Amino acid sequence: MSSSSKPTVIIVGAGLGGLTLAQSLRTAGIPYRLFERDSSEASRQQGWSLLLHECLPALRKIAPPSAPPIECISVTYQTPYEDHFHMFNGHTKEVYLSFEGPVFADAANKRDAYSISASRSKFRAWLTHNLEVNWDHAFKGYEVLPSGRVKAYFENGVEVEGDILVGADGSQSKVRSQLFAGNPAGNALNRLPHACVAGLVHLPRDKYLPHMKYGPSLYTTDGVGLRVFIGLRTFSPDMSTATLVWLLFWVEKQDKKEPPAKGETEKPTLTTLHMATPAELLAYAKQATADLHADFREIFEETKVEDMLGSLVLYDREPMHCPAGPITIIGDAMHVMSPFRGEGGNAALTDAFELSEAIVNLSSSTITPEAINTTLRTYEEKMIPRGTDMVVSSRNAGKEFGTRGVTEKLFNRAELGELVQKH
Ligand SMILES: Cc1cc2nc3c(=O)[nH]c(=O)nc-3n(C[C@H](O)[C@H](O)[C@H](O)COP(=O)(O)OP(=O)(O)OC[C@H]3O[C@@H](n4cnc5c(N)ncnc54)[C@H](O)[C@@H]3O)c2cc1C
């Protein structure tokens, strides 16, 4: 074991979960080593924004000293708009649900808590303040040493020893695949019956203004069998243009494959999606949304082929205990889930806070392999019911699109009930 009374924590992955864990450990004075395969903080497009809610009070507590207030990561920061979220019937424009003002407040801390539609790139930059990140370090594998400590190996030849290894390396986690090498079911992902196509649209002021009314930071609109997420990404410096990002989801019917009607684009399937060209994806998106309300359809009509972002296939995994030893996983590595309740990132942050708390408690006792094992399994014990509930309700939230009853059920948690304003 380490000679210090504090364990050294190796974190693989500087995404939302890994960075938050490192910040929480830094705040508590616990040594960490953070490794990321990206070559720098900005080397990868950070795509769709992220709705932060339950995790905001804890995020404020670990705010890096040199970082600006958390509000600055909002896509609407320093604009005339505030983060609101609406869900519409895509045909009638009827509002199913509307969250405005200080929403998602937790009972204990109502004044502070509300939702922020976070720009992922700004959030990653915010979380990176005051942290030492080892960029360009792709994790290769690990070895548990006879002492009980763990050694991590990286593709660039670097080897690092620590007391605990945390895989925060996302849904395709390499840490998880080694951890569950003897139990392939533990590493398996459940492929969801959804397909998704995404694109960007640039709108001049007269065209973007109505969308700021529908949901300045984010809104969703449902058609029969489909759901669209539309969110602000950025404004041009003079605010003459807004760039919105859209994601069109549909439920794939794998049992029957109907030939396209004359003049229609063939619907990409889960297996053909990745082969479709941007022009084919856009043609399909326009066709699928053709009977939406004209105000929503405009988004697709105005999108240019060169602004198509591509396609996504969705997976989930119910969390489970990791094998005994000094290794655990957090975030999407542990419980990737469908995005239909906007909870995956919040769950990754909550994991990071709770694991850090458990490690801080450990550092007040003697650090032995047994104590580390107990600490990690105790974190998992607490996380598993929470994570399972989120994975299952996110899965159910994608089962049916386009009905008020289903949409209302998505947000029927007791703590939100009184805050939801029904229209
Ligand atoms: C379309 C969409 C919309 C979403 N919207 C929301 C939302 O509104 N709210 C919400 O809470 N959640 C949302 N989510 C979910 C959220 O994005 C994820 O749950 C969250 O990013 C998980 O964080 P993470 O840190 O576990 O993984 P990631 O953010 O994926 O980070 C993993 C990191 O590990 C690194 N890595 C991977 N392999 C290696 C390796 N071998 N070596 C070193 N580093 C490695 C990666 O480069 C990455 O930086 C959405 C997801 C999707 C797909």
Q: Please tell me which residue, 137 or 410, carries the higher pLDDT value.
A: 137
Q: What is the pLDDT of residues 328-375, one digit of tens each?
A: 999 999 999 999 888 899 999 999 999 999 999 987 777 899 999 999
- Burial pattern 375-410, b for ≥16 Cβ within 10 A else e, equals bbbebbeebbeebeebbebbbebbebbbeeebbeeb
User: Is residue 346 in contact with ligand 1, taking CB distance under 6 Å?
Assistant: yes
User: Is residue 339 in contact with ligand 1, taking CB distance under 6 Å?
Assistant: yes
What was the pLDDT predicted at 57? Answer: 82
What was the pLDDT predicted at 312? Answer: 86
User: Is residue 133 in contact with ligand 1, taking CB distance under 6 Å?
Assistant: no
User: Is residue 319 in contact with ligand 1, taking CB distance under 6 Å?
Assistant: no
- Ligand 1 atom with minimal separation from the 169 CA: 34
Distance between CA atoms of 42 and 38, rounded to whole angstroms?
A: 9
User: Is residue 139 in contact with ligand 1, taking CB distance under 6 Å?
Assistant: yes
- Ligand 1 atom with minimal separation from the 198 CA: 1
Going by pLDDT thresholds of 50, 70 and 90, the confidence category of residue 86 is: confident
Pocket test for ligand 1, best of 10, 11, 43, 48 (most atoms within 8 A of CB): 48
Q: What spacing in Å lies between the alpha carbon of 204 and ligand 1's midpoint?
A: 31
**Token pair for 111:** 């004044």
Sheet with 85-89, edge to edge strand ranges: 95-99, 85-89, 218-223, 226-235, 241-251, 190-204, 308-316
Lowest mean pLDDT among 41-45, 253-257, 258-262, 314-318: 253-257
User: Is residue 169 in contact with ligand 1, taking CB distance under 6 Å?
Assistant: yes
Q: What spacing in Å lies between the alpha carbon of 220 and ligand 1's midpoint?
A: 21
Going by pLDDT thresholds of 50, 70 and 90, the confidence category of residue 133 is: very high
User: First CA to last CA across the chain, in angstroms?
Assistant: 59
Greatest Cα-to-Cα distance within the chain, rounded to the nearest angstrom = 73
Residues 6+ apart with CB under 8 A from 387: 318, 319, 334, 335, 347, 351
Give strand pairing partners of 34: 11, 133
Q: What spacing in Å lies between the alpha carbon of 329 and ligand 1's midpoint?
A: 13
Q: What spacing in Å lies between the alpha carbon of 345 and ligand 1's midpoint?
A: 7
Q: What spacing in Å lies between the alpha carbon of 339 and ligand 1's midpoint?
A: 11
pLDDT average, residue stretch 70-94: 84
pLDDT average, residue stretch 286-309: 93
Q: What spacing in Å lies between the alpha carbon of 170 and ligand 1's midpoint?
A: 5
With 50 as the cut, is the pLDDT of residue 102 above it?
A: no
User: Is residue 380 in contact with ligand 1, taking CB distance under 6 Å?
Assistant: no
What was the pLDDT predicted at 47? Answer: 67
What was the pLDDT predicted at 406? Answer: 42
pLDDT average, residue stretch 62-66: 86
User: Is residue 398 in contact with ligand 1, taking CB distance under 6 Å?
Assistant: no
pLDDT average, residue stretch 394-410: 63
**Token pair for 303:** 């999108």
Lowest mean pLDDT among 40-49, 100-109, 117-126: 100-109
